[in-house]
Structures are given as C-alpha cells and as structure tokens.
Amino acid sequence: MLRNLDAVEWGLLTMHIAAVGGAVWYGPSWPAFWLLLGSWFLRALGASAGYHRYFAHRAFKTSRAFQFVLAILAMSSIQKGVLWWASNHRVHHQYSDTPWDPHSMVQGGFWWAHAGWLLAHADGPTEPHRVRDFDAFPELRWLDDHYLVPPVAIAVVIWLLAGWWGVVWGVLLPTVLVMHGTFTINSLAHWKGSRRYATTDNSTNNWLVVVLTLGDGFHNNHHHSPRTAHHGFMWWELDITYFVLRLLDLFRIVWDLRIATPETRTRDLIRDPSAPAP
C-alpha cells in the first residue's frame, strides 16, 4: 500500500510522522508550548485572512507589499500557492455541494472533503482565468509556481535560530494543526453544526471549527455572505481573524473591510437557528 503513494502523499505522511515523533522525542515544555501556540496562530491567521478572506474573496483591500506578506504567511501552512488555493475555493462557492464542487462532503464523503480531494488534485494546475485579479502580479505567480519556498525558508530560519527542537515545535506541529484546521471547514463544517441561513448547500456554523480556524467555522454565515470580512455576524460569535483585521485597519495596513448589512444578516433566516443541515 505504501509503495503506491505519490510524492505529495509521501511528503504529508513524512511530515505527520516527524511532527508527532519529534514532539515525543523532545518532550513538552513551556517554551515548546508558547512556540507552538505563536507559530500556530500566525499560520492559522495566514490561512484565514490570507488564503480565504483576501485571495479567495477579496473581503478587504491592502497594499501590494502587504499582499505579498499575506501570501508568504498563508503559504507557510503548505496548502499550495495562493492562486491555486483561491481558484479552487472560488469553484467551491460556485458549485458548493454539487458534483462540480472539488471537495464536497455530500458528494464524496467526510474523508474526501477533509483531505482526499487535496491528495487527488494537489498536482493540478492553477486556473488563471478564475483569479485574474491576482494573476496579474508576477510575484504571486512566482510564489504559486514555487509554493514550497516560503515554508522551507521559514523552517531554515527557525532551524538556524533554535535547531531541530525549534523545527518540530515551531514548524512541523503547528503546520499539521493548521492544515487539519482548514480541512475541517470542508468536512466537519459541511456535516455537523447549526444553520442560521437557508443556503443552497450543507454549510453549518461549528464552534470546534471556529476555534481551530480563528473564526472561519461560522461557515453557514460565510456561505450566506461570502465576500464579507467578518464571519461572526452576532456579538457572541468570536471571530479572531476579523478582530486582527480591524486592528490592522486602524493602522491602515488593510482597509475597506466588507461588512454584512443589516438587510443581509436578516435575509433567508431559518426559523430555528439550531436546525441541522439538510
């Protein structure tokens, strides 16, 4: 069975084994915990604010320089290039939970939605016509073609500063956690949770996914209004990514954050917000 794995599958398997084995070898400690937490937070923020809200949905504006920083931060979680990621995600929203959705749990099951689709299509090309807005930037095209450069460069820097201990707790473990956090949006958040809005797909709001993704787990909200910078529509819906974006907005690092209007928030409501997915 293992002999049939391709390069991507071997790479992911090796990374998971190295992350778990390294954590056991070096053992837990408070410095390890804080390094893991900080690295996980930055990578999760890169995936949520970068891959998802900016490159896939253009939920806010920023400078070309910070756009590049967002791309580096997002790609540190090894989910391929931002153009490839955004292209696939835009297809997901266009055909959500239909046979043309690249990672529908309804069509392919939990494992397919979680990671199987990525293993099957990781070598697939970016579709430039779906991301013309960002394909115009040569630096983003270069990063998309060389998507392993950012995570490898970051790993080398951490290795030089902290050795293999730092690579395990500051690179491997947080990367694995962020990857699976993102994957739960496709799987768990299209399977279990509450539904506030009558969308045409099975998207749900799932609090476990919220914690794992810094706010992207309010997935039913998101599918109801995909281009908004905030996914938590109610005051009690903690959306950490949006809070960080608001802070960046204060310093004009980002601006023009798209916000759901009161009319949008009250349109297509389901009478019972706790109703399960159809």
Secondary structure (3-state) at 127? coil
Q: What is the mean pLDDT of residues 155-164?
A: 95
276 lies in a domain?
no
Classify 215 in phi/psi space as left (phi over 0), alpha (psi -120 to 50) or beta: left
180 lies in a domain?
yes
Work out the mean pLDDT of the chain and round it to a whole number. Answer: 92
202 lies in a domain?
yes
What's residue 249's pLDDT?
Answer: 98
- The yes-or-no verdict on residue 158 having pLDDT over 60 is yes
- The yes-or-no verdict on residue 118 having pLDDT over 90 is no
Q: How many domains does the chain have?
A: 1
Q: Is the pTM of this model over 0.85?
A: yes
Residue 129: domain span:
2-94+123-266
274 lies in a domain?
no
How many Cα atoms occupy the beta-carbon half-sphere of 49 within 13 Å?
31
d(CA 54, CA 263): 23
Alpha-carbon distance values, 69 to 75, 110, 149, 178 (Å): 10, 33, 14, 18
- The yes-or-no verdict on residue 2 having pLDDT over 70 is no
What's residue 121's pLDDT?
Answer: 76
Q: What is the mean pLDDT of residues 199-219?
A: 96
158 lies in a domain?
yes
What's residue 272's pLDDT?
Answer: 52
| Stretch among 11-15, 93-97, 135-139, 236-240 having the lowest mean pLDDT | 11-15
b/e map 26-38, b = 16+ CB within 10 Å: eeeeeebeebbee
116: confidence class by pLDDT, cuts 50, 70, 90? confident
76 lies in a domain?
yes
d(CA 148, CA 121): 17
What's residue 278's pLDDT?
Answer: 46
Helices 240-250, 30-45: axis angle to 10 degrees equals 70
109 lies in a domain?
no
Candidates 237, 232, 189; CA nearest to 92 is 189
